[in-house]
Structure 1
């Protein structure tokens, strides 16, 4: 019934979809196994992609040849570029999506991808032979052989859903949990633990009074996520989101259910996401605040369902309903379904190589929430890397590894493998020490060529990249060489206001001034506008950023160069740390557990001091 596959991907969430697409597009014969083919790429929580640092990740996925950016652009109902008041290193795209259209588009793209087969069943175990994964065992008893296997089980591994004092097995509401894999992996020597996450109630949008809320419109310009030309909505077509607030009355009602909350009663063992707390957790932790922001987000074009962002909860249903009706605009709210918490198994990611292959079992890869992360974007990028490396493993080729200076994806994977996580990991710009280099606008310049060489990014992407590079060089040369006379520009400079010039100046010098943007300079200078008129906006934006922030970019490049010396110092695979008595006990135990591959990685392990790294360096020299 089943042939042998190059790659089997278990789970069809965001990680599984990207893994299957990546491996298939690189040439592997792929089987995507999921418990329900109707929920491929389902947005289990909020119907949105991107956001602070997450938007950078989606653009990196797209630059590498993944599908998340394309699907998001094709299904968005609103687009916003966050942090535009700050420098470009902080700009982060975010899109509100049509939940059903997002899933439909993902499935259509997968079905149109050659080399992918689909099968609906639960995977209950792995086929292991001589410490190597050679396939899977399904709930129906099928043994399916493969060269490599990628596990992307999401919240389904022994998942338990909590609503107040009620609890029942499930990986998502109305979907059963997956069993068997955790138990087998633990028997094989893997360490596992529990985490939790939650979701808010969904309500009937017709029952809300939007006149009591603040409207949040989309941007007047939609740049989107994909570097390809994907048909998207116009600014005028966007749907609005809305903002309202809780109040003390809401908090008082919520408190009446605390004694029946699974979180406070201790029935939930797993740790929840610190940066996306439940509403009861916010009320408890921030008792000094008399209100919390609630984002009212539509779920799509053709649905009345509303996602109540900021009101994640596992309190009893009747408490949720009473409290939510105390929020301004929600006085007559009708609830579609209550919020709930879910706890599930994960495997601390220090048990992985940088390729996301497990250290204990060869040709077995983990991606997504099984590694302790939270968020669609974090899962999707891991799936992409795991899928790429699963394919490369079938070809006996070296794995594809992104460094911290290459991408936010590199930061995420290095954080997971070097530091591990005891709570759901979420990406922030503050986690990236080279964020001036890792901007959302230049993801293609950083990554597309690397991916093309490996066979994932298409020739079309490479062509677009080369055209963009040529345009940036042309624009930069024009701006650096064009001399501006005082009488051409002083009226504009006085209007900003900024100091007028008294002698000729290069356009680049003017662009360095705070508050001056290239598009405004073009409008004031017909000669400059004429010279640049045939260039695309993304190339103009990129050239402007490179000129305005060149000094900061160069400083970071120097820092990367210095840090790379540690990254290039490889630690032998079976290095014996027990004989180095000068190491602190904590460092020795961490080194034995994590098995760092370079001195750079060793230096980033939690609990390791600079002196421990110096001692290790001395012993390696010997």
Structure 2
């Protein structure tokens, strides 16, 4: 039935678990994925969308490294938008509205094609641990399965409790049983710290009961992109509309009058809520001066009437949810298909992990996803991918794979978690990345695909495609840097854009570097268009070259800053370094350095409470 010994056992079939299992098995580890329900593999428990601000960058990075989330999203997309196009390219973020059922179905197809990956429907209730090393798992049905390593990706299932008004239902998701035993084992027997967090979901409603004429239509991009750089997924030819409406004073007054029915304000919920994705009752309470809040009306798929009411997460009783919704423009005759609810669950503060996401306490035990205090499909998938890669490398006694903050948003995510921890559900923002001009969504393949190739997740064919793209970019850059515009050719364009005219020939690069001039303004010039067609410079190549030219100063500055950081990253601190013996360190510095065990001076510098003086003392004791 099972192998005598698996290389990797992955617990949980959510976004973290399926990326972890796919990565470890694709690298050659015999992997077992255990999930409570086959039908909810890759389930979108909240809104049916992938990507968004900073999250879209993460999905592109997962794809560039050889993960699957971007590919699955492409196969399931019903609308694609590039967010923040009015801002600089560091802020551009791809987002795909997905067909919820297709997304889960496609993940199942990909998993079942993987001959290195076994799947089993059961619930893991405890770990088999010997001398502080994990050697397997025990299941609800009493099975003992041996493994060299285990990745826990339990999501919201550890002692999960669902709240709808006064109703409290034990469960990890609506109609799905919670998991008991793992938290108790790790905390009582091995000294792990744990906490409680809370998240929530919005009501699903019948789209036929809504009046879309009262809402603002939100269309997809005219020329929709995709997430995957290499996989041969087709571009969208048709898209489904989303809609926007708003709450109003009537809604807010009704909610205020019913605060006592919310388990958040009745004191039933103890877990910490996500600051950046609050429930509607929290929005009304915390932002009492706001007259309205945006409500995004999102279809759940191609062929369903089910609609997700994004921005209206709630734990109110069903009747109050209904009464609140009917006061929103366009929702006057709404029919609720499924009520919203809040869910509390256990998580383990992530500073208890190494940079590889391996536990500091139990060897070969890895954690990924919401169990680490994060929120969001994208953050979970990224952690799953990194855990899957590192567990494979660990059991083969190879060097760990750690992304730096200047290499990827994934590097920022994991570094934040292990050095700062989190006391509220952590989500990624572009503002968290100091090098966001380097970490753009459009260049994730250039940054990370060579690394994915080196570790065995990217094929030779994919590397050839990247090399071809790089060559095209260099050729296009050379042309723009060396070809001139004459005044007669370019001045009409400059005049139309209210840009100063030129009196002598100027390089195309010089003209394009002007803030008011866009690549679209100049590529239509006949001789330039001829050159573009002759060399087959795609829109993607032109956009890449335009970014490099227009933002050269910002990019160069960030590269220089990253070089300075790299010097500190290269100053490695031995794992057995005796901080307690250095009396000249501040007491707080000694305590935190000994607890976090940073792997480099750069990581030590990011730990809250570590002073410049502490860093200087460390340098001296390291012989620098």
TM class by smaller structure: over 0.9
What is the CA–CA distance in structure 2 between the aligned matches of 1:467 and 1:126, rounded to whole Å?
A: 47
Q: Give yes or no for contact 1:205–1:306 (8 Å, CA) kept in 2.
A: yes
Which residue does the alignment assign to 1:386?
A: 387
- The equivalent of 2:464 in structure 1 is 463
In the alignment, the residues of structure 2 paired with residue 502 and residue 291 of structure 1 have an alpha-carbon distance, to the nearest angstrom, of: 53
Match of 1:619 in 2: 621
**Residue aligning to 1:98:** 99
How far apart in 2 are the matches of 1:23 and 1:234?
31
Match of 2:529 in 1: 529
Q: Offset of 1:414 from its aligned partner?
A: 0.1
Aligned equivalent of 1:222, options 216, 221, 224? 224
Unmatched runs of 5 consecutive residues or more in structure 1 = none
1:271-301 alpha-carbon deviations (Å, 9 max, x no partner): 0100000100000001111211111111000
Measured after TM superposition, the shift of residue 515 of structure 1 is: 2.5
**Displacement of 1:233:** 4.7
The runs of at least 4 consecutive aligned structure 1 residues that moved more than 6 Å come to none
**Distance in structure 2 (CA, Å) of the matches to 1:69 and 1:324:** 33
Q: How does 1:157-556 map to 2 (within 5 A)?
A: 157-186=158-187, 187-234=189-236, 237-524=238-525, 526-533=526-533, 534-556=536-558
The corresponding residue for 2:599 is 597
Q: Aligned partners of 2:394 and 2:581: how far apart in 1? A: 34
Residues 69-148 of structure 1 mapped to structure 2, 5 A cutoff: 69-148=70-149
CA contact (8 A) 2:71 2:233 kept: no
Maintained 8 Å contact 2:226/2:235 = no
Query: 1:487 deviation in Å?
Result: 1.1
Once the 2 structures are TM-superposed, how far is the Cα of residue 463 of structure 1 from its aligned partner?
1.2
Q: Which moved more, 1:573-582 or 1:470-479?
A: 573-582
**Corresponding residue for residue 2 of structure 2:** 2
More divergent stretch after superposition (317-326 vs 582-591): 582-591
Q: Distance in 2 between matches of 1:586 and 1:309?
A: 43
Mean Cα displacement is larger for which, 536-545 or 387-396?
536-545
SS in 2 for 1:608: coil
Cα distance between partner residues in 2 of 1:68 and 1:407? 16
1:53 Cα offset (Å): 0.3
More divergent stretch after superposition (380-389 vs 515-524): 515-524
SS at match of 1:386: helix
Once residues 98 and 138 of structure 1 are traced to their aligned partners in structure 2, the CA distance between those partners, rounded to angstroms, is 32
SS of the aligned residue for 1:89 comes to: helix
Q: Secondary structure at the match of 1:342?
A: strand
Question: Helix, strand or coil for the counterpart of 2:480?
Answer: helix
Cα distance in 1, alignment partners of residues 417 and 99 from structure 2: 31
In the alignment, is the contact (CA less than 8 A) between 1:83 and 1:92 conserved in 2? yes
Contact 2:225 2:235 in 1 (8 A): no
Contact 1:254 1:320 in 2 (8 A): no
Q: Quick one: distance in 2 between partners of 1:156 and 1:133? A: 21
Once residues 137 and 457 of structure 1 are traced to their aligned partners in structure 2, the CA distance between those partners, rounded to angstroms, is 34
Unaligned runs of 5+ in 2: none
Task: Tell me the C-alpha RMSD between the 2 structures.
Answer: 1.2
Cα separation, 2, equivalents of 1:94 and 1:463? 27
Distance 2:236 2:573 in 1: 53
How far 1:48 moved relative to its partner? 0.3
Pairwise CA distance, 1:539? 1.9
Q: Which secondary structure state, in structure 1, belongs to the residue aligned with residue 356 of structure 2?
A: coil
1:205 offset after TM fit, Å? 0.4
* Secondary structure class of the residue paired with 2:344: strand
Aligned to 1:42: 43
**Cα separation, 2, equivalents of 1:328 and 1:519:** 39
Residues 76, 232 of structure 1: 8 Å contact kept: no
**20-29 or 260-269, larger mean C-alpha shift:** 260-269
Aligned to 2:575: 573
Deviations 1:161-202 (A, max 9, x none): 001111010000000001111111112111111111001111
Distance 2:50 2:464 in 1: 27
Task: Kindly provide the CA deviation profile for residues 127-170 of structure 1, in whole angstroms up to 9, marking residues without a partner as x.
Answer: 11221111111111111111111110000001000011110100
| SS at 1:441 equivalent | helix
Which segment is superposed worse, 363-372 or 570-579? 570-579
Alignment map for 1:12-91 (pairs within 5 Å): 12-91=13-92
Alignment deviations for residues 228-278 of structure 1 (CA, whole Å, 9 cap, x no partner): 24334535x111111111111111221233112211122211101000001
Name the SS for the 1:262 alignment partner.
coil
The offset of 1:617, in angstroms, is: 2.2
SS of 1:287 mapped into structure 2: coil
Tell me how many residue pairs correspond in the alignment. 620
